[in-house]
Amino acid sequence: MLGDKKVVYSAVQPTGCITLGNFLGAINNWLKMTDDFLSIFAIADLHALTVRQNPAEYRQRAMSFFAQYLACGLDPSKSILYFQSHVPQHAELTWILNCFTYVGETGRMTQFKDKSAKHADNINMGLMDYPVLMASDILLYQADYVPVGVDQKQHLELTRDIAIRFNNLYSPTFTVPEPYIAKQGAKIFSLQQPGQKMSKSDPDPNGYINLIDPPDVIARKFKRAVTDCDGKIIFDEENKPGVSNLLTILATVTDRTVDSVISDFEGKGYAELKQAVADAVIEKLRPIQENYNRLVKDKAYLTEVYKDGAQKAAKIASRTLSKVYRKVGLVEG
């Protein structure tokens, strides 16, 4: 805890676009946290270097991603927004924590195994060290809570293990973070493979909606969404995952219950459902897209925001790092 508020920390790689699934399932919940917590949100640009990037394209994607953060409603006056690489304490603490993390711990990470299989020609040390950098991200800010998805739970457990190990060796130094479980967060699945979560990594671009997709593209993707053959508009995730996913999206963006949404489609078919979902999503994203189109052209403002965020983040991070350096016996500079 820092000051009177508990700390929530999250960092996301700048993939270029925030998906509708990210927005409804994660960022929507972040927006609700900013009044009650000290909320720190980073663009995890160092993490993304484990995969080869085209430098010019990567910079453009990172700036676009940052503009999308702001366009979604994340307010720099209520939270700290910054680029991970602009706060050198992340990399510095990672080296210290490397010395308290065992090779077997990082080698057994599911994500390391999966990415090693996908990128057999580039199994680099950064890929193995990814969870230690993630631990540094979280522990630098004495985070009480970390919103995590299923794919990151294992990394958070390692973060907790490292923190407890260090605290036991050197006396309490790090807050041991807990996963933040939102009271309600919509689970949004792929429009083409409704058994899998909506993700930018989906090889089929029709499977996900980007927040900055033009309205005609959004409409086309929903028109092509996978449903089934029986024509019944009911909520049944096991037997009708495609239809259930569309109903969830419609209920979430219109702030209604799934049951009330279903009642709108008595005697109607999937074409009407898909059109209604597309219309609702387009309307929901309209102000976000308007904000994004304005922000992405204002590089001076974006720079001001991320520099201010980095200064605030570094102030907190430097206090933690100084404490760690003293604990391990390094000579003060």
Instruction: State how far the Cα of 250 lies from the Cα of 142, in Å rounded to an integer.
Output: 37
Q: For residue 149, what pLDDT is reported?
A: 66
Q: In whole angstroms, what separates CA 287 from the centre of its chain? A: 21
Q: Which of the following is catalytic: 200, 223, 323, 327?
A: 200
Q: Which two tokens stand for residue 214?
A: 């033009």
Which of these is catalytic: 113, 153, 183, 197? 197
Q: Is 115 a catalytic residue?
A: yes
Looking at residue 42, its pLDDT comes to: 96
What is the 8-class DSSP label of residue 38?
Answer: E
The b/e string for 83-114 (b: 16+ C-beta within 10 A; e otherwise) is bbbbbebbebbbebbbebbeeeebeebeebee
Q: How much is the pLDDT for 15? A: 81
What gap in Å lies between CA 19 and CA 37, rounded to an integer? Answer: 25
SS3 9: strand
User: Stretch 249-263: mean pLDDT, rounded?
Assistant: 93
pLDDT of residue 181: 72
What CATH class does 7-185+299-328 carry?
alpha beta
Question: Is residue 112 pLDDT above 90, yes or no?
Answer: no
* Rounded mean pLDDT, 48-71: 92
- Decide: 38 and 223 in contact? Cβ < 8 Å: no
- Beta bridge pairs of residue 154: none
CA distance 133 to 127: 10
DSSP classification of residue 331: P
CATH architecture of 205-293: Orthogonal Bundle (1.10)
Residues 6+ apart with CB under 8 A from 92: 321
pLDDT of 332 > 90? The answer is: no
Annotated active-site residue in 115, 221, 240, 274: 115
Q: CB under 8 Å to 179, separation ≥6 — which residues?
A: 145, 146, 147, 148, 153, 156
Please state the domain extents for the chain: 7-185+299-328, 205-293
Q: Could you tell me the pLDDT band of residue 300, with boundaries at 50, 70 and 90?
A: very high
Is 200 marked active-site? yes
Mean of the pLDDT values across residues 164-168? 97
Question: According to the model, what pLDDT value does residue 7 have?
Answer: 96
Q: What is the mean pLDDT of the chain?
A: 90
Distance CA 220, CA 231 (A): 20
Q: How much is the pTM?
A: 0.88
The whole-number pLDDT of residue 166 equals 98
